[in-house]
């Protein structure tokens, strides 16, 4: 494991050399976790362009034992505040994460540092765009926890008339914990009937009725990695309009998934799925982008949308989640988490996309 953190720091070093930086002061906690494996709530690392021998990790006394276990391979400083303690050690041109440091924080850094401070936004985030196999395994486990939770919910009659959205949300979350999640990866969305037409509906005390669409958008957190899946089901016999809407969104989602390949423009993935819905006359009811990156954050780069710049690369983990929302009637969204591969994309959320009738 510590080898993979060393590899990530080595990749960062190549960027530092390109930018003629002697070091990067990493203060964002997710970036710190990505580069060192440290999961505490306070810390920073000064990554030297010269190598790990000159790289210094810092945290405070509460994490003395934890950091010795998680970061055994770097010089360790126990002091606070860490950003200032590390800034004082910096020499030469030192990058800082200007997209995370506040204006006041920069004043303090400038006072503490002898070094020349240089804006260096997004360097670690650029590395995080393409997942390594250890990250993909964590995403796989997070997706499996969500798949198993939904299967168990259905199997144990969790979606029966009379249950409320809040009850179902709580049960899904607790079943994800049963299957290895440390928590939900975001606030679970459960929407019954007309509420399913609201893309990000918050669960209420509304009760489930026969004939309702049930939209479930949820995910699990495993080793800091987030899964994200939406399934829309029907309770009782589906009406024709429900089945037609479902089939349309399913075709759009399949087109989006089929478009995932290295080198494809992000915009074009969105377009592949959106075209299907627009041709059917529901373009105005597809109210959001097609998908987003997932990893240490639930929403991260790349964005798959009309305005997304850039292209896909192998190893990116993204969602594909078209939806059509008919106000006052109901909506359908189908969402998977996938990894872009040189060959076909790898599907991580394995729950069926046939219309499930409970
Ligand atoms: Zn989602
Ligand atoms: Zn999503």
Beta strands in 10-123 (DSSP E): 23-26, 44-48, 56-59, 75-78, 93-96, 116-119
- Report the separation in Å between the CA atom of 3 and the middle of ligand 1, taken as the mean of its atom positions: 32
Tokens of 116: 């020349």
- Which ligand lies nearest the alpha carbon of 317? 2
**Residue 355 falls inside a structural domain:** no
- Which ligand lies nearest the alpha carbon of 333? 1
- Which ligand lies nearest the alpha carbon of 303? 2
The answer to whether 351 and 231 are in contact (CB under 8 A) is yes
Tell me the CATH number at 339.
Answer: 3.90.230.10
On the CB side of 58, CA atoms within 13 Å amount to 21
**Residue 137 falls inside a structural domain:** yes
- Report the separation in Å between the CA atom of 217 and the middle of ligand 2, taken as the mean of its atom positions: 8
- Report the separation in Å between the CA atom of 113 and the middle of ligand 1, taken as the mean of its atom positions: 43
* Domain region containing 19: 2-128
Tokens of 329: 């009637």
How many folded domains does the chain comprise? 2
Whole-angstrom CA distances from 182 to 146, 175, 214, 223, 266 are 12, 11, 25, 8, 31
What does the pLDDT read at residue 3?
Answer: 86
Q: Could you tell me if 142 and 120 lie in one domain?
A: no
From first to last of its 358 residues, what are the pLDDT tens digits of the chain?
778 999 999 999 999 999 999 999 999 999 999 999 999 999 999 999 999 999 999 999 999 999 999 999 999 999 999 999 999 999 999 999 999 999 999 999 999 999 999 999 999 999 999 999 999 999 999 999 999 999 999 999 999 999 999 999 999 999 999 999 999 999 999 999 999 999 999 999 999 999 999 999 999 999 999 999 999 999 999 999 999 999 999 999 999 999 999 999 999 999 999 999 999 999 999 999 999 999 999 999 999 999 978 999 999 999 999 999 999 999 999 999 999 999 999 999 999 999 999 9
Final residue before a domain boundary, out of 128, 146, 172: 128
Q: Of 37, 35, 23, 38, nearest to 86 (Cα)?
A: 23
- Cα separation, 254 vs 257, in Å, equals 5
Q: Could you tell me if 41 and 76 lie in one domain?
A: yes
What does the pLDDT read at residue 122?
Answer: 97
Q: Could you tell me if 164 and 86 lie in one domain?
A: no
- Report the separation in Å between the CA atom of 208 and the middle of ligand 2, taken as the mean of its atom positions: 24
- Cα separation, 331 vs 193, in Å, equals 8
53 CB-contact burial (10 Å; exposed 0-12 / middle 13-18 / buried 19+): exposed
What does the pLDDT read at residue 219?
Answer: 98
**Residue 352 falls inside a structural domain:** no
What does the pLDDT read at residue 2?
Answer: 78
Whole-angstrom CA distances from 60 to 81, 292, 319 are 8, 35, 37
What does the pLDDT read at residue 231?
Answer: 98
**Residue 204 falls inside a structural domain:** yes
Q: Which helix (H) or strand (E) holds 346?
A: strand 346-347
- Which ligand lies nearest the alpha carbon of 292? 2
Q: Could you tell me if 164 and 122 lie in one domain?
A: no
- Which ligand lies nearest the alpha carbon of 294? 2
Model-wide pTM > 0.85: yes
- Cα separation, 263 vs 302, in Å, equals 13
Q: Which helix (H) or strand (E) holds 279?
A: helix 266-279
- Cα separation, 152 vs 307, in Å, equals 38
Q: Could you tell me if 122 and 181 lie in one domain?
A: no
The answer to whether 16 and 49 are in contact (CB under 8 A) is yes
Final residue before a domain boundary, out of 95, 128, 161: 128
Final residue before a domain boundary, out of 103, 128, 153: 128
307 CB-contact burial (10 Å; exposed 0-12 / middle 13-18 / buried 19+): exposed
- Which ligand lies nearest the alpha carbon of 288? 2
- Report the separation in Å between the CA atom of 229 and the middle of ligand 1, taken as the mean of its atom positions: 5
- Report the separation in Å between the CA atom of 160 and the middle of ligand 2, taken as the mean of its atom positions: 26
């Amino acid at each position: 494991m510590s080898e993979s953190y060393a590899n990530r720091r080595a990749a960062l070093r190549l960027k530092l050399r390109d930018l003629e930086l002697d070091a990067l002061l990493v203060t964002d906690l997710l970036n710190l976790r990505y580069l060192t494996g440290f999961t505490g709530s306070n810390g920073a690392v000064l990554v030297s362009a010269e190598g790990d021998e000159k790289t210094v990790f810092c945290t405070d006394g509460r994490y003395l034992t934890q950091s010795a276990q998680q970061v055994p391979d770097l010089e360790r400083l126990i002091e606070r505040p860490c950003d200032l303690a590390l800034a004082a050690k910096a020499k030469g041109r030192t990058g800082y994460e200007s997209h995370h440091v506040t204006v006041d924080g920069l004043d303090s850094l400038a006072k503490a540092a002898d070094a020349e401070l240089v804006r260096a936004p997004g360097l670690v985030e650029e590395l995080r765009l393409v997942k390594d196999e250890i990250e993909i395994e964590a995403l796989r486990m997070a997706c499996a926890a969500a798949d198993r939770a939904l299967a168990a919910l259905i199997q144990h009659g969790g979606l029966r008339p009379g249950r409320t959205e809040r009850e179902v949300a709580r049960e899904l979350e607790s079943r994800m914990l049963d299957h290895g999640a440390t928590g939900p990866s975001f606030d679970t969305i459960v929407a019954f009937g007309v509420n399913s037409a609201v893309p990000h509906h918050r669960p209420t005390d509304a009760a489930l009725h026969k004939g309702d669409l049930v939209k479930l958008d949820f995910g699990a957190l495993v080793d800091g990695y987030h899964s994200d899946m939406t399934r829309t089901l029907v309770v009782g016999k589906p009406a024709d309009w429900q089945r037609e809407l479902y089939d349309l969104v399913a075709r759009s989602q399949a087109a989006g998934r089929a478009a995932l390949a290295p080198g494809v423009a992000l915009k074009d993935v969105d377009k592949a799925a959106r075209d299907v819905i627009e041709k059917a006359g529901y373009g105005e009811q597809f109210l959001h982008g097609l998908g987003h990156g997932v990893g240490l954050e639930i929403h991260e780069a790349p964005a798959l949308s009309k305005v997304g710049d850039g292209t896909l690369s192998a190893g990116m983990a993204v969602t594909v989640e078209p939806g059509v929302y008919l106000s006052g009637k109901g909506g359908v969204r189908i969402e998977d988490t996938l990894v872009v591969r040189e060959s076909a994309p790898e599907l991580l959320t394995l729950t069926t996309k046939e219309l499930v009738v409970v």
